[in-house]
Chain A
Amino acid sequence: MTTMRDPETRAEASPPIAVPAPEETPWRRRHLLDLDDFSVDELGLVMRTTDAMKEVLSREVPRVPALRGTTIVTLFYENSTRTRASFELAGKVLGADVINVSASGSSVTKGESLIDTVKTLQAIGADVLVMRHHRSGAPYLAARHAEAAVVNAGDGLHAHPTQALLDLYTIRGALGDVRGRKVVIVGDVLHSRVARSNMWSLTALGAEVVLCAPPTLLPRGLRDAPEGGLPRVRVETDIDRAIEGADVVMALRMQTERMHGGFVPGMREYSRLYQVNAKRLAHANPGALVLHPGPMNEGVEISHEVAHGLQSHVEEQVANGVAVRMAVLWLITRNTPRGGRTASSRGAL
């Protein structure tokens, strides 16, 4: 990997991205919908590609024309700050045109169906649809009817694959291999697409995943799945037992709406029983990472001191998110019609 800082060279052309060579890249996906069927090799490829993207981001002028001529549409049916900004920046760093479409103030509010919206965006030239939707499975519907690549930026309660990839990248950055590491996911697992995607990638790589939540906030039937139906995870309703010996503690956002649903008696009791705080973190392995997909409710699922303490990698997660999404966009466009046409010139620009 060469890092070229010479201003003259930069003025003429940005240096190549040190992405993995095509012959060692087993990437055949047209869409990124979830990590449930990712092989160890594919996860490794995303990680290595992210390394290359981190290098690009470390440059004085973090811009490369790798996706020049590619149009990325972010189609968000749900509010989001960090995920959308992260994708937008990732696309721009790679030289793509990025158009942001929100469900409010668009034809969506006029009753247009998802399929029609997808087809319309495709007709105006979208190569990649980065989609956030409040309905589980919506990106699968879009992908079935799209020629453009669909990247799931979070669907309902189901999946958030780029979040899980950036979590993985952050964990590997701190711990190296995740095999045999204990990862505890604490909080509202029932409503968490982050937890669902993380279960797949972490268990695929041999981590021990423990879910910790009150029984009312755990999905039912976790233990009833046949082999391959769900990732093999452990469930623990007592946070102290769960955290014991953990290498990673991931706290999930506790939404105030859940109180009204009656899932827990109130924030006071919830934070008393399930908050990740310094006292509890002391039971984890020394140097254990603290992660949170954000946005955080400090004082509820995580204490202020832990959220901003030495073991917190929350800001790093956000920073890694851009590189991971660059990697995903770069990989996914290898298999779009336009990406295929320009593939020979890409990476060498």
Chain B
Amino acid sequence: MSERIIIRGGRVIDPASGHDGIADVLIEDGRISAVGASLDGAGAREIDARGLVVAPGFVDLHAHLRDPGLEYKEDIESGTRAAARGGFTTVCAMPNTEPAMDTRSVIEYVLREAAARASVRVLPIGAVSKGRAGKDLAELGDLAAAGCVAFSDDGAPVHDATLMRLALEYASAFDLPIIDHCEEPSLARDAVMHEGWVAARLGLRGAPAAAEESPVARDIALAATTGAHVHIAHVSTRGAVEEVRRAKARGLRVTTEVTPHHLTLTDETVAFGAGGGDELLYETNAKVNPPLRSQDDVDACVAALADGTIDCVATDHAPHAATEKLCEFDDAAFGISGLETAFGLCMRLVHAKALPLAALVERMTIGPVRALGLDRHVPGLGTLAPGAPGDVVVLDPGAEWTVEPERFASKGKNTPLGGMTLRGTVVATVAGGRVVHETGVPVG
């Protein structure tokens, strides 16, 4: 039920308009009604944001909601509650479900479930190929008509270069991008982490940076060939970032994203955990694909996010059941449950003065919207413009909190950050004019 809400006295950052200053935000009928000084909020539910930051709700281009088929890991209800806690008011759902989101009926199921149970907006991403098998194109036109905002076989790369070329060309008829999980399987055979000294020490098989960089280079070449839009999922290496930088300089339609963990954690987390130390942990919660890389790669990703080479932050939220991580490292599932720690983790960059707060907000709001052109589907998305969706987040950038995975709304408790202190909290989340999260106040 949407209500009249006024958010009073916060520092309002709306990167789309360039607004950055103290103001009130009024939300009516599920939409932004006004941003300004001393707005009339008579009868409205009031959220006191003095000393806090108010921004458009975050937009996540990359989340695994696991629904349908893998509801033991996550479902649309739990996944979107996790999103709300993390300040996200829009999540794009990846299609590696069971069955895959490769037909209109599965997309319709997702949208129906979302309408009935989701705390925040769900935008589906359709599969590129039937069954995500990498052989034959899925019915992209039907998927587009059903409401898909992009196509991806994420979890797996589109390995066949001709299929990728055809997918890019075919999807351009609907002006929708292909999101590619860039990984050359023959270079990443049996790999469970990044190749480097940590893998050498642990006796684990590593994937070289080139396993990511070579398909990135291929996709960019195909973007040039086709003129179509390719979005590189979760870049994680210096070389991949450089490829994207050059592609953008050439004016190609190439966009990209980076995860909070690739911006802040290195492969040493696999050995010693996010807190460091000497004891070998074989931390399965740090097993993720693409793998956590070297400090040099992390530095390159941070710099590229700051200079705009990387368009946005995306969580690659990948929830798993406890037993899928409580096992031998080689046998553990890939993925980090990331929606609820994304803002706190990214705030490390702001506190380290590697990225201004306003830039981080941009990379989590209008940045992802522009990357995929989501405002064509949801006008005003990622902004606080009058008439835009009533999606607003209230943040306390300096507040410390301790990550307690067992208290996540997500079913996936798989994070290497358990017990860590982060600085930066989501105080309240308003989605479509509804308060879907407020600290200290249980929201049903």
Contacts and interface: CB of A to CB of B under 8 A. Distances in A.
A137 interface: yes
Nearest to A135: B328
Given A33-B280, A37-B278, A224 B197 contact: yes
Contacts of B323: 113
Contact of B331 (A135, A159, A196): A135
Interface in B318-349: 323, 326-331
Contacts of A141: 282, 327-329
Nearest to A155: B203
Interface residues of B, number: 25
Contact of B196 (A138, A156, A221): A221
B199 interface: yes
Interface in B45-60: none
A157 B203 contact: yes
A220 interface: yes
Interface in B165-187: none
Contacts of A219: 199-200
B282 A137 contact: yes
Size band of the interface chain A makes with B: 20 to 34
A137 B280 contact: yes
A135 B205 CA distance: 11
Interface in B269-327: 278, 280-282, 294, 323, 326-327
Classify the interface of chain B: helix, strand, loop or mixed.
loop
Contacts of B328: 114, 133, 135, 137-138, 141
B433 interface: no
A113 B326 contact: yes
Contacts of B278: 37
Nearest to B278: A37
B354 interface: no
A221 B195 contact: yes
Contact of B202 (A136, A222, A223): A136
B195 A220 contact: yes
20 contacts: A33-B280, A34-B280, A114-B327, A115-B326, A135-B329, A136-B204, A137-B202, A137-B282, A137-B329, A140-B281, A140-B282, A141-B328, A159-B203, A220-B195, A220-B206, A221-B195, A221-B200, A224-B196, A225-B197, A225-B201
Interface of B: 195-206, 208, 278, 280-282, 294, 323, 326-331
Q: Which 8 A-B pairs have the closest CB atoms?
A: A158-B203, A137-B282, A157-B203, A219-B200, A136-B203, A225-B197, A221-B196, A221-B197
